[in-house]
Structure 1
Amino acid sequence: MLANFRNQVLDENLVREYLLDNPEFFNRHPELLIALKLNHHQRGVVSLVERRQEMLRSKVTQLEEEITALMNVAKQNERIFLFNNELSFQLLACKELSELRQTLFEGLKAEFGFTHVRLITVHDIDSELANIWRHRIHNNYYFGRLTQSESKRLFGSEVGSVALTRLSAENGQVIFAIASADAAHFYPNMDSLLFSQLRRLLSHLLATF
């Protein structure tokens, strides 16, 4: 019977399940931690202990990178919040539409390097702009790239990527358009928090002019 058992191929899934069900196995048999050898793509053959240590070091490194990334995002969000807060006060102080446009452009260009910032009011909109509006802006926003003709009609030149939104209906047809030279700066499904805050403020201010 024993001979027959030894000749049988042991199912590795059974071994795996046994070890998972008995996490104290290697505590009872610590000599196996050194005796067992694993292939390593750089160091050849290593012990189970060495392999475990390497996995832990790799996990720690990964967690450190994730924490660093989260901290960078937090710093970026804080920077955007402070900028948006300051810009909002500057816009609230504007007395005329031309002043508001200039303040908006200078603030966004200085902070983010945008090449174009436009407030396109109902008086500026023709059939071509209306077609861009209908084709691109859905659910109030569009983030991404434009065709060459669309870019030239909206901004007078080719641009990398754009953010478009329409302001509240009470102001008529008003398009808020930002362009970046970076083709990847604005992309579909990106976060619209800053844009939506500016949209609400601009809708309020335009109604007062």
Structure 2
Amino acid sequence: MTTPEPMSPITEDDIADYLVNTPDFFERHASLLATVQLTHPQSHRAVGLQERQAQMLRDKIKALEHRIMDMIRHGNENMILTDKLHRWSCELLVTPQDQLVASAADNIRELFQVPQVALRLWSLQGVHAQAAYAQGVTEAMQVLATSLDRPYLGPNTGYEAVQWLDEPTQAASLALLALRAAPGQPAFGLLVLASPDAQRFNSQMGTDLLERLAELAGAALSVLQKQA
């Protein structure tokens, strides 16, 4: 005579699985719902199942409200930034060539409230090659600019371009934007944004706006380049 194998103890997962697959259980035992007592998450007092479910629903609604408010806030912030980018682009379109560089830098400083902005170009034509914004750019900086597939955002680690700023020692964080006449072409300029706030430009930031800024600046300032 064989000895029957001992039955495995019922686990909480077994109970949960049974209740999920037996939806009419509480219809047959409706009185159980009134006797179930749970702990309230805030007051820690015992409450009924229905009250606990209502609290969970209120918490979910509150969390959704916070998410919606965050989405609205981010949407408003994006609209403000898009408007500033549009205004900056329109200003470039009506600016004479001999004022383009100064206008581009000054408007970035004012519209986007960037404490320090510097801009250098190379491979320019005619009188533009003798302008102050075409001086002091080493070959190493030109190579660095061309190597930037996307804006650099982070701490000031001693980049040579920092010396183009009015107050280099006040640059704790930087954004370096390579300027190209068109995507895929070598850079012919570098735009430097700097802040004394070490977190103003950091590697966790999104770069979409800065990439658009660099593309627009590159396209607008490319009229100063040497012609092929």
Length-normalised TM-score, structure 1: 0.80
Q: Deviations over 1:143-178 (max 9, x none)?
A: 111125768524322323221121127675411111
What corresponds to 1:126 in structure 2?
A: 138
What corresponds to 2:91 in structure 1?
A: 90
What corresponds to 2:16 in structure 1?
A: 16
Stretch moving more, 86-95 or 9-18: 9-18
Q: What is the CA-CA distance between 1:130 and the residue it aligns to?
A: 5.6
Q: What is the CA-CA distance between 1:65 and the residue it aligns to?
A: 0.4
Partners in 2 of 1:86 and 1:15 — Cα distance?
63
Stretch moving more, 184-193 or 24-33: 24-33
Partners in 2 of 1:174 and 1:32 — Cα distance?
75
What corresponds to 2:46 in structure 1?
A: 45
List aligned pairs for 1:49-68, cutoff 5 A. 49-68=50-69
Q: Count residues in correspondence.
A: 200
Check 1:38–1:9 CA distance in 2 against 1; reply closer, same or farther (3 A cut): farther
Q: What is the CA-CA distance between 1:139 and the residue it aligns to?
A: 2.0
Letter in 1 for 2:107: G
Gaps of 5+ in 1: 1-7
Cα RMSD (Å): 2.9
Tell me whether 1:158 sits opposite 2:170 in the alignment: yes
Length-normalised TM-score, structure 2: 0.74
Check 1:151–1:160 CA distance in 2 against 1; reply closer, same or farther (3 A cut): farther
Partners in 2 of 1:55 and 1:144 — Cα distance?
42
Letter in 2 for 1:107: N
Partners in 2 of 1:38 and 1:139 — Cα distance?
56
Calculate percent identity across the aligned residue pairs: 25
Letter in 1 for 2:173: S
What corresponds to 1:187 in structure 2?
A: 202
